[in-house]
Amino acid sequence: MYYIGVDLGTSAVKLLLMEGGGAIKNIISKEYPLFFPHTGWSEQNPDDWWKAVIEGLRELTRDFDTSQIGGISFGGQMHGLVTLDSDDKVIRPAILWNDGRSQKQTDYLNQVIGKDKLSQYTANIAFAGFTAPKILWMREEEPENFRKISKIMLPKDYIAYRLSGVHCTDYSDASGMLLLDVENKCWSKEMIDICHIREEMLPKLYESYDIVGEIKPEIANELGFPKTVKIVAGAGDNAAAAVGTGTVGEGKCNISLGTSGTIFIPSKKFCVDRYNGLHSFDHADGYFHLMGCMLSAASCNKWWMEEIVKTKDYGKEQEKIKNLGENHVFFLPYLMGERSPHNNPNARGTFIGMTMDTTREDMTQAVLEGVAYAIRDSFEIAKSLGIVIGRTKICGGGAKSALWKKIIANVLGIKVDVPESEEGPGYGGAILAAVACGEYDSVSDACDQLIRVVDTIEPEEELVQKYNQRYTQFKKIYPTLKELYDEII
């Protein structure tokens, strides 16, 4: 049988076709536009997602026996607010995870409702990117649209709905809404009241490997798929990426260098850090995880390369970088504000330390190192909880850079394992579909059988020490600039 993973990203959807034995048979990517109507806003049209998915499914399976397709599942950008009216029509463009418009509502939740209560209700505090503050923003700023809301959905779940007709979500993705009681896996009645909504507006909750329904007959006919194709709940992009890299169970870690950057630490036990610097979410394997998320990771390098240096030859720009751990230039990667651990949408990208002899290579190196240092900020919080991490998997577009992987290994001082497939969320989605259809007994069983490490980058003691010193300097910069950021927005 074949299983399809749909990775609904911020800039494109990537669709992956996997054989039951784990072999990737085809990958298709379809881009769609991203809109910035105001500074700090970020929106997309859900219909653009749907058109890209349908075109992608058709192209993905064109040269294969579609009668053998067993299931479709998902990994998707988290936190986005998709609102539907009573006819299931989209009310307004989706407000995305990297949108900072709801800072007023975020402050209300954290300061008036209170972080302690939010953590008690949901295991997390409010961030401007989360869904609940967006709902409050819509209530205050677009009351006519707010009154039309019949269903509140997340991006990937809108695609699952269009395919199956079922309003669904999974626990991992729902964890990032600030509406879910993460520990008890149910909607928080307190948060529902705070957001002035009703529970029937929210989708039905599933485990990531649960079947939510079958493909609509008219969609099956359009694509030439069997009407028995199962639509499987799927997971938020980071949980799906963790499945795709085998990061399930205790003692594991995954770093994703995508548009955003994450450090993902699964656990079989529920856990919250005292300052809520890390997110405490449900995992796609049925258990839990801690996650630090920075809003700009590989997107920082893309911005630097394509908008500033004006090149797409990333490799050529990196090949002259030799003196790791000795760079006096620092870059704070807060181009879209920052989430973990600073929770500050007003933070901004910053270069500091340039002199007359600073080179283009120094600046490029600073961008790569700045992302690594920011990941270490969350890594240090995990260590403070007594979590021991000796190695990590890595995925995402940034993981294609050998130099960046070496920097990550030495900034964190741990081994970096490169899985055979770097397709992260798409592969994880296909694995979840296979588990749901009975190909494997569990997510853990599937990962044990399918995920193979093909390379390991070892940290170098001398370089680790150099980076420890540089990180000590880096972590002083944000507190020094914090008040200034608030003034220059």
Active site residues: 237
Classified as helix, coil or strand, 91 is coil
- Other Cβ atoms less than 10 A from the Cβ of 89: the count is 11
Question: CB–CB of 247/391 below 8 Å?
Answer: no
Report CA dihedral (107, 108, 110, 113) to the nearest 10 degrees: 170
Binding site annotation covers 283?
no
Classified as helix, coil or strand, 265 is strand
User: Cα(293)–Cα(193) distance, rounded to whole angstroms?
Assistant: 27
User: Cα(345)–Cα(348) distance, rounded to whole angstroms?
Assistant: 8
Nearest to 100 by CA among 48, 37, 49: 37
Binding site annotation covers 336?
no
Strand partners, 338: 344
Question: What's the angle, vertex CA 213, arms to CA 212 and CA 219, rounded to 5?
Answer: 130
The region, left, alpha or beta by phi > 0 then psi within -120 to 50, assigned to residue 178 is left
What kind and span of H or E run contains 152? strand 151-153
Classified as helix, coil or strand, 466 is helix
Question: CB–CB of 342/275 below 8 Å?
Answer: no
User: Cα(479)–Cα(489) distance, rounded to whole angstroms?
Assistant: 16
Task: Mark the binding-site residues for substrate, compressed into ranges.
Answer: 78-79
Task: Mark the binding-site residues, compressed into ranges.
Answer: 78-79
